[in-house]
Every structure is written in structure tokens, then in C-alpha cells.
Amino acid sequence: MDWINYAERRPDQESFYEWRMPSVALPSEIVRVKAMNRQRGAGFERVLSPQFDYWDGYRVHVPAGLQWRELSEPVPARIRTCDQYDYEVEGIALCACPFCKRVPSLEFGLQYLGGGESWVTNPHTANRFRLECCGWIRSARYNTPQELAAFWNSRLSPEPRP
């Protein structure tokens, strides 16, 4: 299924869609999420927009370069609520967890300039990453998903480590 530019045509239903957008925090990276397109209040009107939009008090904003398409598979159970995402960075593949045998999900957050961090943020602004599957690996945080995937995959490869 082809990607549709949000600026040219918007989804017309409240539903989960797959969204694709450039990352603000990681130049040249493309972020993909499965997320809800929902009705939201915007001043004196209701607007249909993605859950990662931004309301500035005057209008609703979405990330520049946003694209969307309908889902080709059912919505994963872990993102059935409006505040959760199924997050991917194009070109990154992860090995399955040796404990639960599932491919871990990539979680994202935002590290602030002052040093604090939040794991509730918009997907295109993320600059901190961790993996989640069965609880064994959640604490490790990385600045790029490439560093995280390289570390994770190197620990699970069949080659002996020095």
C-alpha cells in the first residue's frame, strides 16, 4: 500500500493508521508508528487528527512531511489505547529476546536539555530509546535507535565475544 501525504489528503475516519514522518531529533531518520486518528477538541470545534498532533491554542499542528496509510494487519494489542504507539525506525531490525523469544518493541522518550527525561512524548521528537519485551532489558537507554539495535544484536549473535 502506498503512502499518502497528509498535506494532500487526510484520513476521514477515527481509526488506527500507520504514520510515517521525519525525525526532528535524529536527522535523516524516518520514524513509523501505528497510532490512532481521533476526534479532539480544538477551540470551539472538533477536529479529526493523529494522536501525536499539537494544539497551540489557535490550530492543530502535525509533523512536517507526515504521511499515512491504512493498516494491512490488525492493531497490536499493546496499542489499543490512544496514548500508546507501535514505534519503528526504518532500516533497524532487532533479534528476538533469548528469554521470551519475541522481538522487543522499541520505546521512545525525550531527554530535556536540563537533564530530565520523559517517556511520554511525540514520536518524531524522541531522542532516548530503550527496548521492552519481558522486563529483562527495559533499563538500558540509548541516544539513537541504531546504537541500541547494534548493542542488542551484538549480544545475541552466535559469534563468540572477546
Query: Would you write out the chain's pLDDT as a tens digit for each of its 162 residues?
Result: 799 999 999 999 998 899 999 998 888 889 888 888 989 888 888 889 998 898 898 989 999 999 999 988 777 665 655 555 677 888 888 888 888 888 888 888 888 888 788 776 788 888 888 888 876 666 677 888 888 888 888 887 665 444
Three-state SS across 76-94?
A: CHHHCCCCCCEEEECCCCC
Instruction: Give the pLDDT score at 159.
Output: 54
Contact 131, 156 (CB under 8 A): no
Distance CA 160, CA 2 (A): 42
Instruction: Give the pLDDT score at 48.
Output: 93
Global pTM value: 0.76
Residues 43-72: b if buried by 16+ CB within 10 A, e if exposed: eeeeeebbbbbeeeeeebebbeebbbeeee
CA neighbor of 127 nearest in space, from 135, 119, 136? 119
Instruction: Give the pLDDT score at 120.
Output: 66
Amino acid at 144: T
